[in-house]
Structure 1
Amino acid sequence: MSSKWTFKAQPGIFVELADIAHQYPGEKVTTQPNLGLIPDQKYPSDDPDTPDQRDWARLAAYVRWLNENSSGNVSYKVLYLTRHGLGVHNKMHAQVGSEAWNTRVSFQNGDGKETWFDAFLTEVGEKQAQDLYSFWTDLIKKQGAPHPKIFYTSPLARCLQTTDIVFSPLMASQSPPQQPIVKELLRERITRHTCDYRRDRTWIAENYPSYKIEDGFEEEDQFTNRVEPETDEEHVVRKQRALEDIFNETTKDDDFISLTVHSSCGRELVEKILYVMDVKNRWIRLMVKTGEFCSNIQMIIGRPYSSLSMNRALERTPTVSPSVQISAA
């Protein structure tokens, strides 16, 4: 995979999932206190004279310090990764079973009672999103977690809804109000399942007028006529491009960014692009679910390749320490 940026995780900020996974059934780690931020962690940027000595405030200062003291082609960001709430397609899959879903039901738009083409959230999914809004409100107001500078979302309906329920009040509280950016490359892995197709651009603009749709976003879904599913390699390439776009579109000041995505998107970003492995050299599933919904956090370093060093950089074997990503309700 030819890339313009190389990414790696920054260890030592949040508790390591690999270290605590054995404490949970099936190694499915659930929500950690304070998103797993290591308490009382010491940073080179710590200033004892700063009034706010809360852990999140000191982390934010550390990220600023890292960006201020790094070369111009290096950028540090903390990504808040949020998976959408339970969708109609998730419910139908559970009802009919994997065999029926994968061989027949998933290729249909619906059953006359419910529609899972570009599936909406269920009532359960909406409640999950409302709970996460409460979680974030508490985390920001009481714990001092940095408010995301920019919000991105997949264009699929379940992510648009989740972004609206979880983050709209937070975005509206800013001056001027923030607008989430609808980004095509963040969508679910493309299969022949109708839940992975999206509605047209006009529908998104009419139903989410406060959202900013990225430039070049096609009116109609260009993937609906695809004969074969997107391969794992193709999906990884697409997510690499998405991350590169985000780093190209933002500045070092945009150091805390929110992404509302899908489980496969989070998995590819963390496992295949950041190369996060546990101590047994296995890929860890970092999109840990609490029910069918989760949020996860990741601090990464982005470094663009120069034209002179690209070949050498691509030849290097990635060596990234186990990373720092924690699920949140």
Structure 2
Amino acid sequence: MAESPNPTPKYITFSTVTGYFQQDDPITEDRGFDYTKTNFGLIDRAYDGDSEFDPNHKKTQWERFGNEIARLNHGSEPDVQYKVLYMGRHGEGYHNVAEAFYGTHDWDCYWSLKDGNGTITVTTPFSSLPLLEFAVLGFLENWSDALLTSVGIAQAAKANAFWRSQIASQNIPTPESYYTSPLLRCLATANVTFSGLDLPEDHQFVPTIKELFREELGVHTCDRRSSKSVIHENYPNWPFEAGFKEDDPLWDAEHRETNEAMDMRLGQALEDVFSNDKNTYISISSHSGAIGSILRVLRHRNFSLGTGQVIPVLVKAKQVTGERPPRGKGPYTTISTCSAPSATDVPI
């Protein structure tokens, strides 16, 4: 009997469907943009299905948007799918405070290579700290896999309040699947943002911890993750993706990931989600660099996010027959370092 031929190779291409959110419009400034003051950036507009879905004009903008997405998916070709990504950057972390204090040059060449600056140590597991108790803690001795500051916690709480308001007043389509970077600041941000919301019973907040959704890899200790055991100790009910390692397999003390390498990694993460998750509304809790890379993969315009900010994107994914572009570990670069910080530097 003749052997069956090898399966035809396929891969997924991504594009942003523009015209739905202010953030994909080139005239929208990212500096100072606040998703809580703009309905997540959802553009107030009519959709093709409005006349049938909302003949009496009683539905909210988000309800009509939800119908539009269902209509797009229902009418799409078998190899095309549409998903809405709610991508949130973590709240302010102690590493963000340190970079702002020391300056980007000294942070990149000296302080970011350190585990901390030798001030206050916190030993209590952070996920067990009450919000107000956590908020009064001072600067950390250790910003390796940095925790949230009180400002960062407040930013996540603001997101929680906004989601709560949107669910109650707009009937916004809530995430059906949740993913988070394994870095502690993202885990904490996701936890504060989505805990306690009135979510559908079949789509409760139980995020999958996914390795490839983490920040730009290498050199900076704030981007070196904690062990799987530490993460599990603090979030025992959150599942890890299959194959998640005990110790960080990706961080490199001497080399920093390039944009090309990031785009390969984040593209792989997206392809995994789109290939294996049939849900339409996806939450991703991640980082500024990682979300910037995702936007490049999605062919979205550059849109920088401040700490605690959120950007939604309507994505069209198409399965393509043929050999996939290269994937795996892309090129890294060597970072210039300095033997000492500027003379004006003092501990915080």
Query: 2:220–2:253: 8 Å Cα contact kept in structure 1?
Result: no
Is the deviation greater in 217-226 or in 113-122?
217-226
Separation in structure 1 between the aligned mates of residue 220 and residue 113 of structure 2, nearest angstrom? 5
2:26 maps to 18
Query: 1:171–1:179: 8 Å Cα contact kept in structure 2?
Result: no
CA drift at 1:163: 0.3
**TM-score scaled by length of structure 1:** 0.83
Unaligned runs of 5+ in 2: 1-8, 120-139, 327-348
1:275 maps to 299
Question: Which whole-Å deviations, capped at 9, do the CAs of 1:121-154 have from their partners, x for residues lacking one?
Answer: 0011101111111011111211121010001100
1:104 maps to 110
CA drift at 1:296: 0.7
1:37 maps to 42
Separation in structure 1 between the aligned mates of residue 15 and residue 288 of structure 2, nearest angstrom? 20
Separation in structure 1 between the aligned mates of residue 265 and residue 56 of structure 2, nearest angstrom? 42
Residue type at the aligned position of 2:310 = S
Q: Identical aligned pairs, as a percentage?
A: 32
Separation in structure 2 between the aligned mates of residue 190 and residue 300 of structure 1, nearest angstrom? 25
1:288 maps to 305
1:107/1:171 CA distance change after superposition, 3 Å: farther
* SS of the residue 1:142 aligns to: helix
Instruction: Find the partner of 2:315 among 296, 300, 318.
Output: 300
CA drift at 1:110: 1.3
1:70 maps to 76
Separation in structure 2 between the aligned mates of residue 207 and residue 139 of structure 1, nearest angstrom? 29
Query: 2:18–2:25: 8 Å Cα contact kept in structure 1?
Result: no
Instruction: Find the partner of 1:88 among 79, 94, 100.
Output: 94
Question: 1:94-133 alignment to 2 at 5 Å?
Answer: 94-113=100-119, 114=140, 115-133=142-160
Question: 1:1-329 alignment to 2 at 5 Å?
Answer: 4-15=11-22, 16-21=24-29, 28-31=32-35, 32-44=37-49, 46-48=52-54, 53-113=59-119, 114=140, 115-170=142-197, 174-175=201-202, 177-251=204-278, 254-270=279-295, 272-277=296-301, 284=302, 286-289=303-306, 292-307=307-322, 310=323
- Computing the radius of gyration over CA atoms, which structure comes out larger, 1 or 2? 2
CA drift at 1:173: 6.3
1:237/1:171 CA distance change after superposition, 3 Å: farther
Question: Which whole-Å deviations, capped at 9, do the CAs of 1:15-45 have from their partners, x for residues lacking one?
Answer: 3442233xx8xx5533342122122422236
Separation in structure 2 between the aligned mates of residue 200 and residue 106 of structure 1, nearest angstrom? 20
Query: 1:154–1:186: 8 Å Cα contact kept in structure 2?
Result: yes
1:99/1:4 CA distance change after superposition, 3 Å: same
Question: Which whole-Å deviations, capped at 9, do the CAs of 1:56-100 have from their partners, x for residues lacking one?
Answer: 111111111111111222110010010000001001111112222
Residue type at the aligned position of 1:65 = R
Unaligned runs of 5+ in 1: 278-283, 315-329
Residue type at the aligned position of 2:313 = Q
CA drift at 1:288: 3.3
* SS of the residue 1:76 aligns to: strand
Query: 1:87–1:125: 8 Å Cα contact kept in structure 2?
Result: yes
Residue type at the aligned position of 1:125 = G
**TM-score scaled by length of structure 2:** 0.78
1:324 maps to none
RMSD of equivalent CA atoms: 2.4
1:225/1:33 CA distance change after superposition, 3 Å: closer
Query: 2:40–2:310: 8 Å Cα contact kept in structure 1?
Result: no
Number of residues of Structure 1 aligned to a counterpart in Structure 2: 294
